Chains A and B, each alone.
Chain A
Amino acid sequence: MALVQEQEIAGDGCVSETILELKEATIKFGGLTAVNKVSFVLNRGDLFGLIGPNGAGKTTCFNLITGVYRPTSGDIEFKGKVINGFAPNKIATLGICRTFQNIRLFGALSARENVMVGANLRSKTVMPSSFWLLPPVIRETDEMRAKAEHLLEVVGLKEDMSTRSADLSYGEQRRLEIARAMATDPELILLDEPAAGMNPLEKETLQKVVRRIRDEFSMTVLLIEHDMRFVMGLCERIVVLDHGEEIAQGPPESIRSNPKVIEAYLGEAATH
């Protein structure tokens, strides 16, 4: 409870509002329970970390939230509305967007076009009118282009905006994925191992970018990451999963000293 109150004060003064809630979300693949009764609450403006050893069900959680999988039981509520089994594009429209652990950019498209694909979602022109070169369509395209360029600047890819995304370096592709997700104007952005394969300097820049996403773009951030220093230095609250089950939840300090977490990561022997 103390934690919640702290957040209310830390926020912009108003009572913090629940944006995403997992209620005993469970998914089974045949005999395997990949995610078992996981519950956590994200408040608007949170910088929330989701950690756990390999195979703990973190990415599966993301897939549940973004509609790739439908939970076998339990509910996922976004802004107070159950979104179980919604089509992925519907969920994106509601305001959740994500990046991917294994980068999934549209390789043949330029960096800017990738971001513009994301921006398509909030486009107001209806499909038939996009055939024609009507002034509103041109204006909107210009706006989308400007938005894409701004977002590329935020993630530090302004110089590479005309490069084919497949030709970008690994770290650049990760940042481009973030820009593309941001272009859909989500209220909640899910980052799946955004720092994977980055050097320490890049990770530091990325931390700044993630903070900026929250502070400047007022998006709620949920991120999966293996790099403890990165997560601990960035997130305000953390959920730890192991074998599909939630084993700990709380601020970084409490997680760091939680024996269950240490056990999950280092094996049982370490706790003795």
Chain B
Amino acid sequence: MIGEWTPLIAGLEFSILPQQLANGILLGSIYALIALGYTMVYGVLRLINFAHGEVFMLGAYTALLVSWKLGFTQENVAQHPDINGSILTLVLLLFCSMAVCGIVGVVIELLAYRPMRNQPRIAALITAIGVSLFLQYSGQLFLPNSPPPSINQKVNPIQGATNIPLRKASAETLNNVSTTTAAYEAAKAAFDAQLPNEESRFQLSPTGQALKETMDEANRARTDAEATANSERVEIILPNGQIVMFFSAIALMVGLHFLVNHTKIGRGMRAASHDFDTASLMGINVNRIVTFTFFIGSALAGAGAMMNATFLGTPLTTFYGVVPGVKAFVAAVLGGIGNIRGALLGGLLMGLAEALVAWAGYANMRDAIAFLILIFVLLFKPGGLLGSAAVEKV
């Protein structure tokens, strides 16, 4: 059996697997942040807020526009090379994105979803799709869109990368590298010493020719040894900005967990999510809970958007939120929609799946894998990994 699989495995570069997995987890943390918005809204209203991806897009634009206000336009940065962002700049961008997204989420709920509250669920769903398209296209009227701008990397003061060695090359290989390098150095020195006696580099005397061949031979041996060393060495290189992004995402999720499980409003949210009508009969103002849910969910998307746009520097269009939105939606379904821990798990798994697909050499399939996963989840575990399959009450 193994034999049959060998050709498939043979093309895979195992030494870069840890790096890919790490990339996947970093990416997954952003998906998880967005997925939380889907899952929280679904938990309370049983509504898939398809406009969530567009809230994410608006968050990224907020970060961009605020960074421009702070002077990080391309022209200004070109004129003043010494302009640099600080941690304070990042915090300001984060705060603005979260606030704007939170408010946008609340307004969307108020204007679009609340009138549909007592209509059949499909009406709200179609409304959500409508809001999503409306934001994508109307955004083109007033948001800088062409050519796609991106947040200037000077905003980000957290430069550099962290190198995490996982496995060093074996002593034998390293020894081999140093021997062959020394041999090459010696051969090169000998050849260089011979050079003045030669007419030119290209017309060598037999002595010079022999020395050159020795040198080339030594060079080949050295290159081979270094290649072996590279394939034996396993390390992960992570940009520091993305590490900060990851930990900020985790911190936000821990904060959310605390909010939902240990505060008054969180208790209200859980009660409303379990039984909307009873919660209201117990004196919970469910409208306030819904507003709050939209605010928090959208603010988390805003945080994800700001970090994604700032640390990855991707160009922005009004369709910026479509792909992450869909992937986060799949992540929420994968983890069990309505389940907050499920969103976290689903997000990380989505990130990993994407990284693995890229690693296997099918980078073009990165976006398709989301739908593949969605299909399999819906077929085999419709409730998601941590969710329980809901039985419709009849």
Is A109 within 8 A of B267, CB to CB?
yes
Is B271 within 8 A of A88, CB to CB?
no
Give the chain A neighbours of B69 by CB distance below 8 A. Answer: none
- State whether the Cβ of A107 lies closer than 8 Å to any Cβ in chain B: yes
Interface residue from A67, A92, A109 paired with B274 (Cβ < 8 Å): A109
Is B281 within 8 A of A141, CB to CB?
no
Give the chain A neighbours of B278 by CB distance below 8 A. Answer: 100, 104-106
Mark the stretch among A4-12, A28-36, A110-118, A219-227 that contacts chain B: A110-118
Q: Which of A93, A97, A120 has the most CB of B within 10 A?
A: A120
- State whether the Cβ of B217 lies closer than 8 Å to any Cβ in chain A: no
Mark the stretch among B88-96, B220-228, B284-292, B375-383 that contacts chain A: B284-292
> In residues 277-304 of chain B, which contact A (Cβ within 8 Å)?
277-286, 288, 292
CB nearest to B263 among chain A residues: A130
Is A125 within 8 A of B264, CB to CB?
yes
Interface residue from B263, B274, B283, B284 paired with A107 (Cβ < 8 Å): B274
Give the chain A neighbours of B286 by CB distance below 8 A. Answer: 89
Expressed in whole angstroms, the minimum distance between the Cβ of A219 and any Cβ of chain B is 15
Once A117-B279, A127-B292, A131-B263 are accepted as A-B contacts, the answer to whether A106 and B270 lie under 8 Å apart by CB is: yes
Q: How many residues does chain B have at the interface if contact means C-beta atoms less than 8 Å apart?
A: 22
Expressed in whole angstroms, the minimum distance between the Cβ of B254 and any Cβ of chain A is 14
Is B283 within 8 A of A92, CB to CB?
yes
Is A117 within 8 A of B285, CB to CB?
no
A121 to B288, CA, bound (A): 13
Is B282 within 8 A of A184, CB to CB?
yes
- State whether the Cβ of B265 lies closer than 8 Å to any Cβ in chain A: yes
Expressed in whole angstroms, the minimum distance between the Cβ of A224 and any Cβ of chain B is 15
Is A93 within 8 A of B283, CB to CB?
yes
Is B282 within 8 A of A141, CB to CB?
no
- State whether the Cβ of B259 lies closer than 8 Å to any Cβ in chain A: yes
Is B267 within 8 A of A117, CB to CB?
yes
Interface residue SS majority, chain B? helix
Is A92 within 8 A of B281, CB to CB?
yes
Is A87 within 8 A of B280, CB to CB?
yes
Is B275 within 8 A of A184, CB to CB?
no
Is A120 within 8 A of B274, CB to CB?
no
Give the chain B neighbours of A180 by CB distance below 8 A. Answer: 282
Give the chain B neighbours of A144 by CB distance below 8 A. Answer: 264
- State whether the Cβ of B268 lies closer than 8 Å to any Cβ in chain A: yes
Is A89 within 8 A of B267, CB to CB?
no
- State whether the Cβ of A66 lies closer than 8 Å to any Cβ in chain B: yes
Is B282 within 8 A of A68, CB to CB?
no
Is A109 within 8 A of B271, CB to CB?
yes
A105 to B277, CA, bound (A): 11
Is A68 within 8 A of B274, CB to CB?
no
A184 to B263, CA, bound (A): 17
Expressed in whole angstroms, the minimum distance between the Cβ of A159 and any Cβ of chain B is 22
Is A98 within 8 A of B281, CB to CB?
yes
CB contacts between A and B, total, < 8 Å? 81
> In residues 46-78 of chain A, which contact B (Cβ within 8 Å)?
66-68
A87 to B265, CA, bound (A): 19
CB nearest to A177 among chain B residues: B278
A96 to B331, CA, bound (A): 42
Is A121 within 8 A of B265, CB to CB?
no
> In residues 167-225 of chain B, which contact A (Cβ within 8 Å)?
none
Is A130 within 8 A of B283, CB to CB?
no
- State whether the Cβ of A108 lies closer than 8 Å to any Cβ in chain B: yes
Give the chain A neighbours of B271 by CB distance below 8 A. Answer: 106, 109, 114, 117
Once A87-B280, A106-B274, A180-B282 are accepted as A-B contacts, the answer to whether A131 and B267 lie under 8 Å apart by CB is: no
Is A109 within 8 A of B270, CB to CB?
yes
Give the chain B neighbours of A184 by CB distance below 8 A. Answer: 282-283
A118 to B281, CA, bound (A): 9
Give the chain A neighbours of B288 by CB distance below 8 A. Answer: 127
- State whether the Cβ of A163 lies closer than 8 Å to any Cβ in chain B: no
A117 to B284, CA, bound (A): 8
Give the chain A neighbours of B277 by CB distance below 8 A. Answer: 68, 88, 104
Is A120 within 8 A of B281, CB to CB?
no
Is B283 within 8 A of A131, CB to CB?
no
> In residues 233-271 of chain B, which contact A (Cβ within 8 Å)?
259, 263-265, 267-268, 270-271
Give the chain B neighbours of A66 by CB distance below 8 A. Answer: 281
Expressed in whole angstroms, the minimum distance between the Cβ of B301 and any Cβ of chain A is 19
Interface residue from B270, B283, B285 paired with A108 (Cβ < 8 Å): B270
Give the chain A neighbours of B280 by CB distance below 8 A. Answer: 87-89, 92
CB nearest to B262 among chain A residues: A141
- State whether the Cβ of A123 lies closer than 8 Å to any Cβ in chain B: yes
Interface residue from B259, B284, B285 paired with A131 (Cβ < 8 Å): B259
CB nearest to B270 among chain A residues: A109
Expressed in whole angstroms, the minimum distance between the Cβ of B263 and any Cβ of chain A is 5
Is B259 within 8 A of A120, CB to CB?
no
Give the chain A neighbours of B265 by CB distance below 8 A. Answer: 127, 130-131
Give the chain A neighbours of B264 by CB distance below 8 A. Answer: 120, 123, 125, 130, 141, 144
Is B285 within 8 A of A89, CB to CB?
yes
> In residues 118-159 of chain A, which contact B (Cβ within 8 Å)?
118, 120-121, 123, 125, 127, 130-131, 137, 141, 144
Expressed in whole angstroms, the minimum distance between the Cβ of A188 and any Cβ of chain B is 13
Give the chain B neighbours of A97 by CB distance below 8 A. Answer: 281-283
CB-defined A-B contacts under 8 Å, sample of 30: A66-B281, A68-B277, A87-B280, A88-B280, A89-B281, A89-B282, A89-B284, A89-B286, A97-B281, A97-B283, A98-B281, A100-B278, A104-B275, A105-B278, A106-B270, A106-B275, A106-B278, A108-B274, A109-B267, A114-B271, A117-B284, A118-B282, A120-B282, A120-B284, A121-B282, A123-B264, A127-B292, A137-B263, A144-B264, A181-B282
Other 15 A-B pairs with CB < 8 A, given A68-B281, A123-B264, A131-B263: A66-B281, A67-B281, A89-B284, A92-B281, A97-B281, A97-B283, A106-B275, A108-B274, A109-B270, A109-B274, A114-B271, A117-B279, A120-B268, A127-B288, A127-B292
Query: 8 tightest CB-CB pairs across the interface, nearest first?
Result: A92-B283, A121-B283, A106-B274, A104-B278, A88-B280, A117-B271, A130-B264, A106-B271
Q: List residues of B whose CB falls within 8 A of some A CB.
A: 259, 263-265, 267-268, 270-271, 274-275, 277-286, 288, 292
